Chain A
Amino acid sequence: MRNAYFLGLSLAVAALVFFLTRTYGNDYLFFAGYTVVQFVVLATAWNILGGYCGYVNFGTAAFFALGAYTSVALYKFGHDPKLCSELWESLTGHECLVNLTTPENEKLKDFLFAWVIPQTIPALMLVAAVISGIVGFGTGYLTLRLRGAFFSIATLAMAVVLQTFVVNWNYVGGSRGAYVIRPSDIDILGLQLPYIQYLFLMMILLAAVSVAIARTIERSKLGYGFATIRDDELAAEASGVPTLKLKLVATTLSGALMGMAGAPFPYYIGYLEPASAFGLPYAVNSIAMPMIGGTTTWVGPLIGSILLGTLQQYVTVTISSAVNLLVSGVLLVAFVIIAPNGLVGLLRPFFIKIGRTWPRPSSKSKASASASAGSSPSTE
């Protein structure tokens, strides 16, 4: 039950932040805030695999871009509902693989667009989650049985390969990029919202959900399983923990969340091209943020992404966007060397002193497992 309360609480906080931002009355805040909240999702998602299981994923950008390009492909199809390719034509002699523009397909088209092919942001997020989750599962299945380093290298290389595919895929614009024109505003529950505010709202709700998921995992049987993998995988395997299965759950979940974060991105940015969608900054930031905050709790990525994300927005505006990337790189290296447990680890002694409870950075102390741990082993 506590997990449900927490979900409700975080959604309420998200809604509160949204309405507070609205009172400020400047849409730029939504543009900047969207990026910060997007990184809350990415950092939290990364941490499910990286922080809880100890497997480093360098392919955040790949999953993110996968989500973004899912949206682009569906957007393109929504505006010109036929799928044609020369390859298909030369193989079969038919003109198009799918063509819903003809009069006889009118009914089918109406049905598909009403029920099957999503054009709203939450639906796009779900589709992106499924696709990125499958890719995460596939990569994990091929490489997670080996040493951890192979998985990391494979994710890094996967980003390059997916980028190669997108560059060669004309339908979504290839290396020229693709334009996605967002509506100027949207009507939800009788409330007329500028579209950027709507995107921000969707993203902050997603952030609330992903933080709640991360917290639930952390305190469930699943989370303890993850922690055993992180601490000593051999010992875990020997004591009967199904390590491969758990790792696959983590990879799939983490990939799916990253994909969801990417789905609204084309609508936010308006013009998407492979080099920016697959950019290294996503990977660096989503590693730097949990490392700065502290990797073993849900609080770490949240603090890290809000702090670093805000700092980056500030630096981008005041100095330059290249320096903002340098900031995350330098902070990442500094924190892994000097403060291995992140800000949570640094602040913990202070909070213990004043008698507050504070999430534990070390996994070795599990005595205070919450009562709900046994009853909710998994959350997906």
Chain B
Amino acid sequence: MYVSADLLVNALVAGLLLGGFYAAVTVGISVSFGILDIVNIAHPAFIIIGSYIAYIVNAQLGLDPILVGVLALPAFYALGAVTYQVYYVSFEKRGQEALRGLAFFFGILFIAEVVLILVFGVDYRYVSAPYIDQSYKIGLIQLPMRMVVPCVMSLVMLAALQLFLGKTFLGRAIMAVAQDQGALRLMAADPIKIKRIAFALSIATCSLAGAFLIIIQPVEPSIGRDYIGRVFAICVLGGLGSLPGTLIGAMLLGIVESFTSTFFGPSWAPAVAFGLLLLTLAVRPAGILGR
């Protein structure tokens, strides 16, 4: 097969842009699974809910999807806080998070999907914004705005979260919860409250990630399943609980997926994440920047 330079370069750029978006999708899991050790497999379901909210408001009021994502942040934060409270009271407190907690999140994932199907049907939904159809060309490189905008915004989101976790008192408390709950209690901080804040934050990212998702591609209720493998693969690949690791993992997966769909066909792309996940688990379970 002859591979031209512009095909190669464009696959690389498309992969990087896709990776930026994947970072936004995964950052929530990095917080909940990586830092708090809560295996929230319903995360993609919250993202799809975010997409549908962006779709509804965009279709009714014509607001920009990303603006909708920002406006919906408090609602998602509250949703996350409630979800954590239920999870804590029902499972963590009883020490049953391993089996029943997982089943709980799986149930939520499934309920969200079925309810969305019942309400909206299985049609693909999309949003309209002025930049979605635009595309720029710099030399050989194609830059479709529907990829560039989510990628840039998600980098901004990631940087903000990293600053929050590293520089503020609350952020450091969240990092501390991952290391030693008992010690945190000795510092007169309530680990449950801090975990609730952190988990609520992780769900809040879904609001924006959902908006990005529906800008990049049309969305239907069951699309979230494809992202479960991806988010956990990225999270493990980058190293649990490390946001820079998440970014690197996301970029890697984006590039590998982009090359796979360019050279082998898009129908093979979903298998890439799993291959990468298994490879990481078998070779280096700690991930690239893992502790």
Q: Which segment, of B187-195, B204-212, B263-271, faces chain A?
A: B263-271
Q: Chain B 214-248, CB within 8 Å of chain A: the 1/0 string?
A: 00000000100110110011001000000000000
Asked if B78 is at the interface (CB within 8 A of a chain A CB), the reply is no
Asked if B41 is at the interface (CB within 8 A of a chain A CB), the reply is yes
Alpha-carbon distance A168/B96, docked complex (angstroms): 40
Residues of chain B with a CB closer than 8 A to A284's CB? 106-107, 110
A153–B110 CB distance below 8 A: no
Q: Which segment, of A13-21, A106-114, A154-162, A185-193, faces chain B?
A: A154-162
Asked if A329 is at the interface (CB within 8 A of a chain B CB), the reply is yes
Residues of chain A with a CB closer than 8 A to B232's CB? 153, 157
Asked if A167 is at the interface (CB within 8 A of a chain B CB), the reply is yes
Least CB distance, A350 to chain B, in whole angstroms = 23
Alpha-carbon distance A230/B99, docked complex (angstroms): 9
Q: Chain A 258-300, CB within 8 Å of chain B: the 1/0 string?
A: 0000000000000000000000100110011001000100000
B104–A336 CB distance below 8 A: yes
Asked if A42 is at the interface (CB within 8 A of a chain B CB), the reply is no
CB-CB contacts below 8 Å: B61-104 with A: 86, 90-91, 94, 96, 98-100, 102-104
Residues of chain A with a CB closer than 8 A to B96's CB? 340
Q: Chain A 45-82, CB within 8 Å of chain B: the 1/0 string?
A: 00000100010101000000000000000000000000
The residue in chain A whose Cβ has the minimal distance to the Cβ of B39 is A149
A340–B100 CB distance below 8 A: yes
Asked if B152 is at the interface (CB within 8 A of a chain A CB), the reply is no
Which has the most chain B C-beta neighbours within 10 Å: A168, A283, A323, A336?
Answer: A336
CB-CB contacts below 8 Å: A156-200 with B: 156-158, 160-161, 163-165, 167-168, 175
Asked if A91 is at the interface (CB within 8 A of a chain B CB), the reply is no
Q: Indicate whether A326 sits within 8 Å of B229 (C-beta atoms), given known contacts A54-B98, A142-B278, A160-B270.
A: no
B114–A325 CB distance below 8 A: yes
Q: Indicate whether A329 sits within 8 Å of B273 (C-beta atoms), given known contacts A160-B225, A280-B225, A340-B96.
A: no
Asked if B115 is at the interface (CB within 8 A of a chain A CB), the reply is yes
Residues of chain B with a CB closer than 8 A to A347's CB? none
Residues of chain A with a CB closer than 8 A to B33's CB? 149
B110–A337 CB distance below 8 A: no
Asked if A9 is at the interface (CB within 8 A of a chain B CB), the reply is no
Q: Chain B 155-174, CB within 8 Å of chain A: the 1/0 string?
A: 00000000000000000000
B103–A154 CB distance below 8 A: no
Asked if B140 is at the interface (CB within 8 A of a chain A CB), the reply is no
Asked if A332 is at the interface (CB within 8 A of a chain B CB), the reply is yes
Asked if B277 is at the interface (CB within 8 A of a chain A CB), the reply is yes
Q: Indicate whether A158 sits within 8 Å of B106 (C-beta atoms), given known contacts A280-B225, A336-B100.
A: no
A287–B86 CB distance below 8 A: no
B107–A336 CB distance below 8 A: yes
Least CB distance, A65 to chain B, in whole angstroms = 14
B90–A337 CB distance below 8 A: yes
Asked if A333 is at the interface (CB within 8 A of a chain B CB), the reply is yes
Alpha-carbon distance A160/B275, docked complex (angstroms): 11
B107–A160 CB distance below 8 A: no
Which has the most chain B C-beta neighbours within 10 Å: A142, A143, A153?
Answer: A153
Which has the most chain A C-beta neighbours within 10 Å: B91, B100, B103, B273?
Answer: B103
A336–B270 CB distance below 8 A: no
Least CB distance, B114 to chain A, in whole angstroms = 5
How many positions in chain A have a CB within 8 Å of any CB in the partner chain? Answer: 44
A150–B236 CB distance below 8 A: yes
Residues of chain B with a CB closer than 8 A to A54's CB? 98-99
B118–A330 CB distance below 8 A: no
The residue in chain B whose Cβ has the minimal distance to the Cβ of A334 is B107
B107–A288 CB distance below 8 A: yes
Q: Indicate whether A154 sits within 8 Å of B270 (C-beta atoms), given known contacts A160-B226, A322-B118, A333-B111.
A: no
Asked if A148 is at the interface (CB within 8 A of a chain B CB), the reply is yes
B100–A154 CB distance below 8 A: no
Residues of chain A with a CB closer than 8 A to B285's CB? 146, 150
Least CB distance, B101 to chain A, in whole angstroms = 8
Least CB distance, A353 to chain B, in whole angstroms = 25
B267–A164 CB distance below 8 A: yes
A156–B41 CB distance below 8 A: yes
Alpha-carbon distance A283/B41, docked complex (angstroms): 14
Alpha-carbon distance A56/B113, docked complex (angstroms): 20
Q: Indicate whether A161 sits within 8 Å of B107 (C-beta atoms), given known contacts A54-B99, A322-B118, A326-B114.
A: no
Alpha-carbon distance A324/B80, docked complex (angstroms): 27
Residues of chain B with a CB closer than 8 A to A332's CB? 103, 106-107, 110
Which has the most chain A C-beta neighbours within 10 Å: B91, B102, B107, B115?
Answer: B107
B268–A58 CB distance below 8 A: no
B99–A325 CB distance below 8 A: no
Asked if A313 is at the interface (CB within 8 A of a chain B CB), the reply is no
Q: Indicate whether A142 sits within 8 Å of B90 (C-beta atoms), given known contacts A160-B270, A167-B267, A168-B268.
A: no
- Residues in chain B within 8 A of chain A (CB atoms): 33, 39, 41, 86, 90-91, 94, 96, 98-100, 102-104, 106-108, 110-111, 113-115, 117-118, 222, 225-226, 228-229, 232-233, 236, 265, 267-268, 270-271, 273-275, 277-278, 281-282, 285
20 more CB-based (< 8 A) A-B contacts, given A153-B232, A157-B277: A143-B278, A150-B281, A157-B228, A157-B229, A157-B273, A160-B225, A160-B226, A161-B271, A287-B106, A322-B118, A323-B118, A325-B114, A326-B111, A326-B115, A329-B111, A330-B107, A330-B111, A336-B103, A337-B104, A340-B100
Q: What 7 A-B pairs have minimum CB-CB distances, sorted nearest first?
A: A157-B229, A333-B107, A157-B274, A332-B107, A329-B111, A164-B271, A161-B274
- Residues in chain A within 8 A of chain B (CB atoms): 50, 54, 56, 58, 142-143, 146, 148-150, 152-154, 156-158, 160-161, 163-165, 167-168, 175, 230, 280, 283-284, 287-288, 291, 295, 322-323, 325-326, 328-330, 332-333, 336-337, 340
User: Could you pull out 21 A-B pairs where Cβ atoms are within 8 angstroms?
Assistant: A54-B98, A142-B281, A149-B33, A150-B285, A156-B228, A157-B228, A157-B233, A157-B277, A160-B228, A161-B270, A164-B268, A168-B267, A168-B268, A287-B106, A329-B107, A329-B110, A330-B107, A333-B108, A336-B90, A336-B100, A340-B100
